[in-house]
Amino acid sequence: MKVLLPDGSDLSLTEGASAADVAASIGPRLAKAAVAAKIGDRVVDLATPVSDGDQVAIVTASSAEGLDVIRHSAAHVLAEAATRLFPGTKVAIGPAIKDGFYYDFDFPQPVGEDDLPRLAGEMQRLLAAGEPFVRREVSKEEALALFADEPYKMELIRDLPEDAIISVYRQGGFLDLCRGPHVPDSAHIGAVGLLSVAGAYWRGSSDNTMLTRIYGTAFPTKKELDEYLERLEMARQRDHRRLGRELGLFSFHDEGPGFPFFHPKGMRVINALLDYWRREHAAAGYEETKTPIMLERSLWERSGHWDNYKDNMYFTRIDDVDFAVKPMNCPGGTLIYKTDQHSYRDFPLRMAELGLVHRHEMSGVLHGLFRVRLFTQDDAHIYCLPGQVEDEVLGVIELVRRMYRTFGFERVHVELSTRPAKSIGSDAMWETAEHALAAALDRASLPYTLNPGDGAFYGPKIDFHIEDVMGRTWQCATCQLDFAMPERLDLDYVGEDNQRHRPVMIHRTVLGSIERFLAILVEHYGGALPAWLAPVQATVIPVADRHVAYAEEVKAALECVGLRSEVDLRGESVSKKIRDGEVAKVPFMLVVGDREVEQRSVTVRARGSKDSRPFELTEAVAIIVQEARLPVVSPCS
């Protein structure tokens, strides 16, 4: 028989050959590197038989699919280790997830972070043993008998159809209910690390038992694992929640779960960020708008949010009429559009809004500024003619790239998502829209990944993912074409033919949530924000009380040119004040003593430097102004 390989060639094999035989026939190096295989679009064990005409690809640990197989297999080894170390443990589920895996357990005794080294040691012993993963298919009745002592597995099995063929895997003395696939044996897993312990309700319901979830990760080599653990430690040290408290930027309180409180220093950063945002948008031809936080229920019904989003909305009642707190800005923006009759000559219309939105998130998913119930969305809606879509999308792409470069995000990953199975609009309309987005990306020379069928029901979209210094990616900017809302909310314009037509509506955001973007920046820079964003750009440090008056003069000179500054009046030593200034991530510290008072000068120490240099006061101010000026990288600069 013959199978087809990814390069288009075919390979002759004997009847009954497996995917492992395919790898061995291609070459010994591939056979050694293989962890699984793909038959068509299905990832399978290497032991899976192949058939004549199958399309077969070998999956190695270096691929994303291979990593998933390794991590899923590592989860099974963790379960085996847990049941060995803690007899009587009941196992639940253990999938591979982004960057690792987890397994949920019902332990007979409390198990916490202190137990992870023991578990990791037992896992290492099992990995070294190279236990084979053996798959077997059983009936539902047989599966119930095999897992008679495992209540969580029994519940999963009972939910399956009576005639279901169920697969189980055994490695060593551990049997698990699993679809697979898995590596051939535990020696193929590589390097494993256990990361943390958390609580998790069985099947995600608070009505069920609270289980113990153990998180881990696995990589093909120890070097890759060590590099990942280093990134995790960096992320822990840069956690925006800790830095936010230490730098006095924001806080959270039990009286407002999920609602951030911004302190004066935090608002300085927010305002600097928004000043930059406004200048860029004005230069790009946007007009700023503002819409109410609450709007009548009937609007949300017409927009479709009532049917599709009401579980994430907050409501109130005014004068016997239902109102909703807005989770999005677009319906309110369309009301501004409808206040005037528009002609085709008016387009494009670019309306931006820093809109405060509220979303009812479950308490379990709240996470610092990354996931909140209130945030400011840097929204914009562009109304244009069909023939203007490509140029307008190109303008959005250029704006996104300019603004991201300002923050040091040079690596941007782009995805183009096309028509999903459930959608509105004609084939011709979707084809035109998708072509316009792709053409704009091509004109911008911006590589992108195609996500077929992942667009919104109302139109295709482009998503932008930025990469931080730790290699993490964040989806922030998006550009979406919308054919639904103009129809639902009866938006129109008068065309050249003097007839009424529907405009194309482009939804776009650059930073996404301002609060979330601030969290990304804090972690990306480790709290040491660029001088133009820093809450305190310069701290003046008087050596003694007799220098305080001159220190206040220096502060006034800094503030006169718009610099955010303060005088450190604490009764601490100069060296202690400098150390504290470094901890506070202040870009510039200006020391003033007898010599500086006499010479009308300052001694400047830049953040991260051990050297200090004297400057005449006006020269020092000019230098700091240059370093801390608001960036303008728009076409008008």
Token reading at 431: 């084809």
Distance separating alpha carbons of residues 623 and 637, to the nearest angstrom = 20
Active-site annotation holds for 178: no
CA nearest 378: which of 523, 504, 477?
477
The string of DSSP letters for 329-343 reads: SHHHHHHHHHTS--B
* d(C-alpha 552, C-alpha 530), whole Å: 24
Under 8 Å between Cβ of 607 and 579? no
Whole-angstrom Cα distance, residue 159 to residue 157?
Answer: 5
Residue 201 forms beta bridges with which residues?
210
Residue among 71, 350, 381, 524 flagged as catalytic: 381
Instruction: Identify which of 160, 193, 203 has the alpha carbon closest to the alpha carbon of residue 179.
Output: 160
Residue 607 near residue 586 (C-beta atoms within 8 A): yes
- Cα–Cα dist 594/604, whole Å: 15
Which tokens hold the place of 187?
A: 């020696």
DSSP state of 456: B
Look at residues 400, 383, 391, 389 and name the one whose alpha carbon lies nearest to residue 280. 400
Q: Is residue 477 a contact partner of residue 463, using CB atoms and an 8 Å limit?
A: yes
Q: Is residue 379 annotated as part of the catalytic site, yes or no?
A: yes
Annotated active-site residue 359? The verdict is yes
CA separation for the pair 565, 558 (Å, rounded): 7
461 is catalytic: yes
Q: Is 636 a known active-site residue?
A: no
Catalytically annotated residue among 379, 463, 482, 568: 379
Identify whether 422 is a catalytic site residue.
no
Within 247-328, residue ranges assigned H as helices are 264-283, 297-303, 305-309
Find all residues with CB under 8 Å of 338, minimum gap 6, and list them: 489, 490, 491
The phi and psi torsions of 251 (rounded to 5 degrees) equal -150, 165
> Catalytic: which of 330, 384, 476, 479?
330
Is 279 marked active-site? no
- Catalytically active residues are 330, 359, 377, 379, 381, 461, 507
